[in-house]
């Protein structure tokens, strides 16, 4: 444990040291125990791709991968993640080299305002990692914990479905 | 929407956890999967002085057969329980209920012990635990004690776990060959908390029901048995007619949890319909 003097509040704030790997980069940071993973990613590391929607685990916008499984980053403290491997939407692709999922969301109109998209993409990635050829029903089940207020979901389902087949094609060919 | 400051304890062993609980008493809360506690902390409905993170504690994450019970460690995550072949083979009602429990991302993190310790009346597992007469092992620096599911839940979000104690294991009786199970619920979105739940366990001798456990959830401050429905089944040949009679008998349960999802009359109607479905499922006509 470490102490950081905080002039405004008077007493020193307790922090804990964490070593994490985020998108392949190793970081060592001292964090307040109450710092949420979502705020750690956005404010400490500047990875603002992870969106903060409801902050109580309902909307799924802040979903990221921890050690290969999605978590709601607003429901996990950074202080719990010593030695964890974290992947955010920034790990998927770049503007000129989109991940097949990102490309499919673009082509199938899987987003409008884009707020839910990072969470949708990470949840879809988890699904395809475990089940490379999902049915539409399996896709519906997988994204049932992610809210979208623009698309009506059908285009998101089509995007994930088409990305799965695109990715399979690439693997098979 | 940020939690209030707290001090963090991160015990590695059950002994260290017991010491931390004994030391901090009711100023501490236990952090398991955090899928219910952290939202409440974000809203500042809960502001513990000390948070005891038990994610590093060795020996609370297991599923194993132990005599005539399937013992599940409190820190076992939902995803592990849902995918467990041991659970499916030995306590099929848990597997049925998990078709309705939460969304994949929540199941990755949430734990069975955390869910039951939270005592949410709209959650599936408390109803299942009561239906199966599961035993809860409550531990502290003083040792272990065992509590029946029906006595573990004391009220809405209230359990028999006192400051200084924690839920360490849940013991579900292994299903007998002549037992039949059913579970159904209605929720606004698949995976959300239920507006109403019905779950049943029937002990059969041929087509005749020897004993019945019928449990409601989501309609009152705590899930509980529906004695009138159980009486309507006991000693009877379970047919469509008997199913309808037992379902009708759930009218004796007065729904007290009313909100924008449903008033008492609606929940009562749901409970009747869900009980009929759960029973039909149990006798293989669902």
Does residue B43 sit at the A interface (CB-CB below 8 Å)? yes
Report residue B190's pLDDT band, with 50, 70 and 90 as the boundaries: confident
pLDDT at residue B188 in the model:
87
Per residue in A38-69, pLDDT tens? 999 999 999 999 999 999 999 999 999 999 99
Given a cut of 50, whether residue B255 has pLDDT beyond it is: yes
Does residue A88 sit at the B interface (CB-CB below 8 Å)? no
- Chain B CB contacts of A63 under 8 Å are 105
pLDDT at residue A8 in the model:
58
Beta bridge partners of B205: B208
Interface of B with A in 3-22 (CB under 8 A): 3-8
In this structure, is the dihedral angle defined by the CA atoms of residues B119, B121, B122 and B127, taken in order, positive or negative? positive
pLDDT at residue A170 in the model:
61
Nearest-neighbour CA in chain A from B40: distance (Å): 8
**Of the candidates B7, B42, B104, which has its C-beta nearest A74's C-beta?**
B42
Pick the CATH number of B7-53 from 3.40.50.300, 3.30.43.10, 3.40.50.2000, 3.40.309.10: 3.30.43.10
Report residue A171's pLDDT band, with 50, 70 and 90 as the boundaries: low
pLDDT at residue A73 in the model:
98
DSSP for residue A113: S
CA distance B76 to B53: 14
Cβ atoms of B30 and A57 within 8 Å: the answer is no
Instruction: Tell me the CATH class for B179-282.
Output: alpha beta
Average pLDDT over residues B191-198: 93
Task: Give all domains of chain A, ordered by start, each with its CATH number.
Answer: 2-91 (3.10.20.30), 100-172 (1.10.150.120)
pLDDT at residue B286 in the model:
56
Cβ-based burial of A89 (10 A; exposed 0-12, middle 13-18, buried ≥19): buried
- Domains in chain B: boundaries: 7-53, 63-173, 179-282
Cβ atoms of B206 and B236 within 8 Å: the answer is no
Per residue in B2-35, pLDDT tens? 999 999 999 999 999 999 999 999 999 999 999 9
Given a cut of 90, whether residue B189 has pLDDT beyond it is: no
pLDDT at residue A2 in the model:
61
pLDDT at residue A5 in the model:
54
Beta bridge partners of A87: A65
Does residue A76 sit at the B interface (CB-CB below 8 Å)? yes
Per residue in B57-110, pLDDT tens? 999 999 999 999 999 999 999 999 999 999 999 999 999 999 999 999 999 999
DSSP for residue B140: E
Average pLDDT over residues B135-158: 97
Nearest CA in chain A to B45: A56
Cβ atoms within 10 Å, residue B64: 11
- Chain B CB contacts of A60 under 8 Å are 103, 105
CA distance B258 to A70: 33
Does residue B39 sit at the A interface (CB-CB below 8 Å)? yes
Nearest CA in chain B to A70: B105
Average pLDDT over residues A159-172: 85
Per residue in A75-131, pLDDT tens? 999 999 999 999 999 999 999 999 999 999 999 999 999 999 999 999 999 999 999
Percent of chain B with pLDDT strictly greater than 70: 99
Report residue A13's pLDDT band, with 50, 70 and 90 as the boundaries: confident
Average pLDDT over residues B187-199: 91
Nearest-neighbour CA in chain B from A15: distance (Å): 9
Average pLDDT over residues B237-251: 96
Does residue B108 sit at the A interface (CB-CB below 8 Å)? yes
CA distance A55 to B129: 30
Taking all residues of chain B, what is their mean pLDDT, rounded to a whole number?
A: 96
Pick the CATH number of B63-173 from 2.40.37.10, 3.30.465.10, 2.170.120.40, 3.90.1150.10: 3.30.465.10
Nearest CA in chain B to A72: B105
Q: How far are the Cα atoms of A52, A130, B90, B242, B275 from residue A55, in angstroms, in the given order?
A: 6, 27, 38, 47, 35
Report residue A173's pLDDT band, with 50, 70 and 90 as the boundaries: very low
In three-state secondary structure terms, A52 is coil
Asked if the Cβ–Cβ distance from A74 to B3 is below 8 Å, we say no
């Amino acid at each position: 444990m470490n102490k950081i003097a905080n002039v405004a509040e008077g007493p020193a704030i307790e922090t804990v040291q964490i070593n994490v790997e985020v998108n392949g980069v190793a970081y060592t940071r001292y964090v307040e125990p109450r710092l949420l993973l979502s705020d750690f990613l956005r404010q400490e590391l500047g990875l603002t791709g992870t969106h903060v929607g409801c902050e109580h685990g309902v909307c799924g916008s802040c979903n990221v991968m921890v050690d290969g499984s999605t978590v709601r980053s607003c429901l996990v403290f950074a202080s719990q993640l010593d030695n964890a491997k974290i992947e955010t939407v920034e790990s998927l692709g770049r503007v000129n080299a989109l991940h097949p999922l990102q490309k499919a969301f673009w082509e199938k109109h899987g987003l409008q305002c884009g707020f839910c998209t990072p969470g949708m993409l990470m949840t879809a990635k988890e699904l395809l990692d475990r089940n490379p050829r999902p049915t539409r029903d399996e896709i519906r089940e997988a994204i049932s914990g992610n809210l979208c207020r623009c698309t009506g979901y059908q285009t998101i389902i089509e995007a994930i479905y088409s990305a799965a087949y695109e990715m399979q094609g690439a693997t098979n060919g | 929407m940020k939690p209030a400051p707290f001090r963090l304890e991160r015990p590695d062993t059950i002994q260290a956890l017991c010491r931390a609980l004994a030391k901090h008493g009711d100023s501490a809360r236990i952090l398991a999967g955090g899928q219910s506690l952290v939202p409440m902390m974000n809203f500042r409905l809960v502001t513990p002085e000390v948070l005891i993170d038990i994610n590093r504690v060795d020996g609370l994450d297991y599923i194993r057969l132990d005599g005539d019970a399937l013992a599940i460690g409190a820190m076992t995550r939902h995803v592990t329980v849902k995918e467990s072949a041991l659970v499916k083979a030995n306590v099929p009602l848990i597997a049925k209920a998990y078709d309705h429990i939460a969304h994949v991302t929540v199941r990755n993190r949430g734990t069975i012990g955390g869910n039951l310790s939270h005592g949410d009346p709209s959650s599936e597992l408390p109803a299942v635990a009561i239906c199966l007469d599961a035993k809860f092992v409550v531990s502290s620096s003083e040792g272990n004690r065992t509590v029946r599911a029906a006595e573990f839940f004391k009220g809405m979000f209230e359990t028999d776990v006192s400051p200084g104690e924690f839920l360490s294991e849940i013991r579900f009786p292994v299903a007998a060959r002549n037992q039949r199970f059913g579970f159904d619920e209605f929720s606004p979105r698949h995976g959300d908390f239920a507006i109403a739940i019905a779950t049943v366990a029937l002990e059969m001798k041929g087509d005749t029901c020897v004993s019945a456990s019928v449990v409601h959830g989501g309609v009152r401050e705590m899930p509980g048995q529906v004695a009138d429905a159980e009486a309507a089944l006991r000693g009877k040949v379970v047919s469509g007619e008997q199913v309808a009679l037992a379902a009708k008998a759930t009218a004796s349960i007065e729904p007290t949890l009313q909100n924008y999802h449903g008033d008492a009359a609606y929940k009562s109607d749901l409970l009747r319909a869900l009980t009929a479905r759960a029973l039909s499922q149990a006798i293989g006509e669902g």
